[in-house]
């Protein structure tokens, strides 16, 4: 008398789990191969944060990173051409924390003279008290009442006085040998070479080739009309947005 489950029981009793050792070995081999491909050929990485805001979203963009553009088999002859160029978006080990990586744009290569703080104008501040961040101009808190009686102040002087100077404004740095100057695209909210100084080239892990997709695409429905052209094409190649300015 065959119960309806006897067939299943038969199948179950005949089932042998896959032998443990070959499965483990095969898994290790596959994982090692994937690791090799991701460290030498191409890799998909998730890049979050506000520092690259116009180029990469703050919610986390999936980007294509490859060390191949900087890989040179004959290091002596091709050294100059294989080093990071101005305008490249690169992924580097964070100088502040070796377990993290940062994604920044190369602003200067060795020998360049760079102003630490290129922004001019009002100090702006990132306000995030209600969970919705926005930029605010800090009101100029220099009272001009005392100077109003005194009519002899020139216009330039007044302009200089009313503009608070930023930290690093007007200070110039020469990028040392073997280093690059890394800066985020969002200058007002980025921890970069302005804080930790020039970064050695050996810290650069790869070049960001393309943005593949936005992993957490949360369009604000109410603001879509206002955003308009701010919605970037997705996916896209990351370009070297370098323009020569003739003096």
Site for other proteins in 8-47 (CB under 8 A): 28-29, 32-33, 35-36, 39
Pairing of strands 179-183, 199-200: antiparallel
Contact call for residue 201 and other proteins (CB under 8 A): yes
Distance CA 105, CA 180 (A): 10
67 in Cβ contact with 204 (< 8 Å): no
Residue from the set 176, 224, 234, 237 that interacts with other proteins by CB under 8 A: 176
**Collapsing DSSP states into helix, strand and coil, what is residue 159?**
helix
Residue from the set 8, 71, 126, 196 that interacts with other proteins by CB under 8 A: 196
Site for other proteins in 116-135 (CB under 8 A): none
Has 207 been annotated as catalytic?
Answer: no
Closest CA to 49 of 226, 238, 201, 216: 216
Q: Which of 38, 72, 85, 104 is catalytic?
A: 104
By rule CB under 8 A, what count of residues binds other proteins? 28
Closest CA to 50 of 192, 223, 206, 231: 192
Has 13 been annotated as catalytic?
Answer: no
Active site amino acids:
51, 104
Judged by the rule CB under 8 A, the positions of this chain that interact with other proteins are 28-29, 32-33, 35-36, 39, 75, 79, 83, 92-99, 176-179, 196, 199-203
């Amino acid at each position: 008398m065959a119960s309806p489950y006897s067939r299943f029981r038969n199948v179950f009793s005949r089932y042998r789990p896959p032998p443990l050792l070959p499965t483990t070995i095969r898994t290790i081999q596959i994982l090692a191969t994937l690791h090799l491909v991701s460290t030498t050929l191409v890799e998909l990485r998730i890049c979050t944060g506000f520092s690259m805001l116009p180029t990469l979203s703050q919610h986390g963009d999936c980007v294509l990173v490859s060390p191949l553009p900087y890989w040179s088999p004959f290091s002596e002859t091709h050294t100059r051409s294989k080093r990071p160029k101005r305008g490249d978006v690169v992924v580097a080990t964070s100088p502040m924390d070796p377990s993290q990586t940062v994604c920044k744009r190369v602003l200067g290569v060795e020998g360049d003279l760079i102003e630490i703080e290129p922004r001019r104008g009002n100090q702006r501040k990132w306000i995030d008290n209600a969970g919705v961040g926005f930029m605010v101009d800090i009101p100029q808190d220099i009272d001009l009442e005392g100077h109003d009686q005194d009519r002899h102040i020139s216009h330039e002087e007044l302009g200089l006085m009313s503009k608070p100077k930023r930290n690093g404004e007007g200070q110039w740095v020469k990028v040392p040998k073997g280093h690059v100057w890394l800066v985020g695209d969002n200058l007002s909210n980025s921890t970069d070479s302005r804080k930790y100084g020039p970064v050695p080239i050996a810290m650069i892990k790869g070049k960001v080739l393309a943005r593949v997709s936005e992993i957490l695409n949360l369009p604000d429905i109410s603001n879509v009309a206002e955003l308009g052209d701010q919605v970037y094409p997705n996916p896209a190649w990351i370009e070297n947005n370098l323009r020569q300015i003739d003096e």
